Amino acid sequence: MNNDRNNNAFTLIELMVSIGIIAILISIAIPALSGVRQRARDAIGLSNLRQTSVAMENYVQAYGGWLPYAKEGSGFRLTPEVPPSSVIRPGYWDTSSYWSSLFHEVAPWDQWFGMWVYPDPRRPTSKPWAIDSTSDSPFSNGVSSLEYARSLYARPEIWESGGIIEDRDSVLRGVRHSEVRYPSAKVSLFDSELCARVRCDDPKTVKRAMLFVDGHAAMKALSDANAPVKGRLPELAAYGALAVHDTAGGARGRDY
């Protein structure tokens, strides 16, 4: 009887082999599950961008055909309350980060801002625009996950051939939607915080969600975009020539 019980039991070696196999299976499954979660987030991001295109259309219609734009020195509301509890006056080119503040009238933040930030446990959920000065989270800064292409809120001449532009006031002006020659090839918004959420060995080569002026959304890598050009305003040198932002021809050019 004792021999029968011993024959039916696992030996120590068999147990160790079983544990090893389970560990291998888990190591294979975890990256696969991580990939599934990332694809799910990408799907949500693309869906949110398509919804955001509706807000863009509302803005263009409400402001007589102009794409989102703010004059230099403008104040940006950072909360949806009226009057707002927080206002900032960033530099002209910082509209890339604060673009959503231009949408309070056409896309109220309490209804829309959740579409402009990607889900992350480190981000405030009830008020995703809230700024938490006590947190070291990269998602508590009160801005959208999306970045607005600066070639859409300054004149195309900046990114066309020629010498230094002396009269900067003449080119720091808005762009009409009708001036975008290739709306299906010009990016308006893109996911700029992807590499703060997931590992990016090379931020330029990883595919991220992008919205195009014609309203379609797609996953694209910055490295696949057309080569950016150096802008004709000296102040742009501090940023460097960036894909999507510094499109050759500006609003008249193509990114992809």
pTM here is 0.84
The pLDDT of residue 170: 96
Q: What is the pLDDT at residue 135? A: 74
Cβ 130 vs Cβ 145: under 8 Å: no
Query: What average pLDDT does range 101-124 have in this prediction?
Result: 90
Q: What is residue 112's predicted lDDT score, i.e. its pLDDT?
A: 96
Find which of 19-23, 72-76, 85-89, 126-130 is predicted with most confidence, using mean pLDDT: 72-76
pLDDT tens digits for 122-181?
A: 777 788 898 777 777 777 778 999 999 999 999 999 999 999 999 999 999 999 999 999
pLDDT digits (tens, 9 = 90+) for 9-65: 667 676 676 777 777 766 665 665 556 676 777 888 899 999 999 999 999 999 999
Q: Which residue has the higher pLDDT, 18 or 220?
A: 220
Per-position b or e across 77-89, b if 16+ CB within 10 A of its CB: bbbbeeebeeeee
Locus of tokens 């009057």: 83
- Residue 66 has what pLDDT? 98
pLDDT at 29: 58
First and final C-alpha spacing in the chain:
76
Mean pLDDT of the chain: 89
Question: Does the pLDDT at position 77 exceed 70?
Answer: yes
pLDDT at 4 over 80: no
Question: Which is higher by pLDDT, 37 or 182?
Answer: 182
Concatenating the DSSP letter of every residue in the chain gives -HHHHHHHSPPHHHHHHHHHHHHHHHHHHHHHHHHHHHHHHHHHHHHHHHHHHHHHHHHHHHTTTBPS---TT--EE-SSSSS-S-EE---GGGHHHHGGGGGTTTS-HHHHGGGGS---TTS-SSSTT-B-TT---TT-BSS-SEEE-GGGSS-GGGGSSSS--S-GGGTSS--BGGG-S-TTT-EEEEE--HHHHS--SSTTTSEEEEEETTS-EEEEEGGGSPPP---SSGGGGGT---TTTS-TTGGGS---
Q: What is the pLDDT of residue 27?
A: 66
Mean pLDDT of 95-103: 97
CA nearest to 152, candidates 116, 181, 109: 181
Is residue 1 scored above 60 in pLDDT? no
